[in-house]
Amino acid sequence: MDKQAWTDSVLGSLAGMSRTLGGTSDTTSSANKPKLGVSEGEALALQTEGNLRHALDDLWECRGHRFVSPAEVREFVDGIAEEVCTGLLARGQSLYRTWETKFGQTNVEEIETEYLEFCERLFAGLSDGDSVREAAIVEKRLDGEIHPFADGCGRTAKLLAAFVLLRGSRTPPRYGARSEYYTKINAEWREWFSYYRSLCETPRMA
């Protein structure tokens, strides 16, 4: 799979999962989440897609990079999250979430600690042989549990998961119904792993 095919595959998978990519601001996680700095509709959809394409370009270029520390991994993840949010956050808004969610994700005061642990785990996992398992951990921890960013946690998590799979010569997951996905991501780990593997039941990349 070449760069264009991989990019198209990731964007195609995200199309049915990301409300923001469809031009709708997603504030379902909390009534306290600030409004985005772009009006809903075509402008939001175009900005979001452009951001994703830029992030995917960088991920593709880094597919063979050898990370040397958890700190470098954090800088990398932050950079992807910043690209995902470019032009979307209100002026002066922090990259990180500063409000509680209604879905039971990490409390604000614990985000820093859990995010550091996530980056340490990802650093170790990038050299693990089971890329599907590592991608599943990325999505559940970053989006389903910690939810560290002010916006784009789902998009960032899915891009990073696709990156982990790419490094393992695996194609991106093929997501089904959004409602089923978010039911499964909040389930126990065993159920989540089983579900996620079903999304990745495609041949390895040529």
Say which CATH number the domain at 114 has.
1.10.3290.10
Q: Give a yes or no: residue 113 inside a domain.
A: yes
Q: Give a yes or no: residue 206 inside a domain.
A: no
Label residue 127 exposed, middle or buried (CB < 10 Å: 0-12, 13-18, 19+). Answer: exposed
C-alpha dist (Å) from residue 9 to 3, 28, 68, 97: 10, 26, 29, 29
Instruction: Give the predicted TM-score (pTM) of the model.
Output: 0.93
pLDDT at position 128? 74
Domain count of the fold of the chain:
1
Tens digits of residue pLDDT in 7-58: 999 999 999 999 999 998 876 665 667 777 788 899 999 999 999 999 999 9
Q: Give a yes or no: residue 191 inside a domain.
A: yes
Burial letters 31-44, b for 16+ CB under 10 A, else e: eebeebbbeeeeeb
Tens digits of residue pLDDT in 122-167: 999 998 779 999 999 999 999 999 999 999 999 999 999 999 999 9
Q: Give a yes or no: residue 31 inside a domain.
A: no
Given a cut of 70, is residue 183 above it in pLDDT?
A: yes
Q: How crowded is residue 162: how many other Cβ atoms within 10 Å of its Cβ? A: 27
C-alpha dist (Å) from residue 52 to 81, 106, 150: 10, 25, 16
Q: Give a yes or no: residue 124 inside a domain.
A: yes
- As a whole number of angstroms, the longest Cα–Cα distance in the chain is 46
Q: Give a yes or no: residue 14 inside a domain.
A: yes
Domain boundaries, position 81: 3-24+37-199
pLDDT at position 204? 62
Q: Give a yes or no: residue 159 inside a domain.
A: yes
Tens digits of residue pLDDT in 187-198: 999 999 999 999
Q: Give a yes or no: residue 98 inside a domain.
A: yes
Dihedrals φ, ψ of 96, to 5°? -95, 150
pLDDT at position 31? 61
